[in-house]
Amino acid sequence: MIQLVLKALGNSTRLKILFWLKEPGRHFPQQKHEDIHKIGVCGKFIHKKSGLSQPAVSQYLNLLLRAELITSIRSGKYTYYKRNEKIIRLFSKKLNKFL
């Protein structure tokens, strides 16, 4: 787990995505039908904010998902993402033990 998390954190855009998702109301527009604090942020908003291609953002989100740093929920044709605070805290504790 630690190696995959470190790999996921080794890219500035993935770090930015985690930072943005920490305070979604501050970094993303309000979604019409979904509460961003409950369900997460629609992938299209993450893509738009990043300024990168959709396939690149999709790959970044996929790695963050595999590292379990974020979770996703599918609703209709959209996927919503939010931070997995439990795993982030666990990783932080493990990292502190090593450092």
pLDDT at residue 83, as a whole number:
97
Is 99 domain-assigned? no
Is 13 domain-assigned? yes
pLDDT at residue 3, as a whole number:
86
Is 79 domain-assigned? yes
Burial annotation 34-51 (CB, 10 A radius, 16+ → b, else e): bebeebbbbbebbbebbe
Q: What is the pLDDT of residues 49-76, one digit of tens each?
A: 999 999 999 999 999 999 999 999 998 8
Domain that holds residue 63: 2-94
CA distance 5 to 73: 20
Question: What is the pTM (predicted TM-score) of this model?
Answer: 0.90
The number of distinct structural domains making up the chain is 1
Is 67 domain-assigned? yes
pLDDT at residue 14, as a whole number:
97
Q: What is the CATH number of the domain that holds 59?
A: 1.10.10.10
Is 47 domain-assigned? yes
